[in-house]
Amino acid sequence: MPDDMTSLLSKMERSRNRLNAALVKVAPHVEIYPSWKIKQILDHIAGWDDLVYSSLLAYSQGKAPPTMKDAGIDQYNAASVTSRNGLSTEQSRLAYEDARGKVLQQLRGLSPEMLSREYPAPWGGKCTIPSIMKIFISHELEHARQIEGILKKTSA
């Protein structure tokens, strides 16, 4: 596995650890994002990991990835969270962990030549696999910082 992939996998692990560290400190009833509490954040992140896993699987099979439908990212986020309404918080946490495990397993199984190719991105346009990983690292860190800010406000 190329060094840059190893580095990106390490950064993914650190961003997930930071997000998890923030999540365990927030009470379940605290609103993190308008109308979203911990459960919805878990569902949101799991939804994105599911999309990335499906995309990586499609790329490895020489197929086009699934695409977001309708109005784009905001609609995808809402549908992803809503589709998991029936899960308990514990089930959402398990799905969140399972989805990331599947992404990591798929990433580790990719051939090195796949890392430099461009693919159709599920959200439109083109992307490379490392660019997807960088987006996900940034996405998780954004949510971690948001939660950390809420924690600072509530402890003050």
- Residue-wise pLDDT for 63-82, tens only, equals 999 887 556 888 888 889 99
Strand, helix or coil for residue 119 = strand
Using CA atoms, how far apart are residues 98 and 133, in angstroms rounded to an integer? 17
User: If residue 156 lies in a helix (H) or strand (E), which one and from where to where?
Assistant: none
Fold of 3-155: Four Helix Bundle (Hemerythrin (Met), subunit A) (1.20.120)
Q: What is the pLDDT of residue 155?
A: 77
pLDDT attached to residue 69: 59
In the predicted model, residues of the chain with pLDDT beneath 50 are 1
pLDDT at position 1 is 46
Among 108, 131, 106, 105, smallest CA distance to 120 is for 131
127: helix, coil or strand? strand
**What pLDDT sits at residue 156?**
61
Question: Quick one: which of 92, 108, 109, 8 has its CA closest to 47?
Answer: 92
Side-chain-side CA neighbours of 54 within 13 Å: the count stands at: 14
CA–CA dist 25, 23 (Å, integer): 5
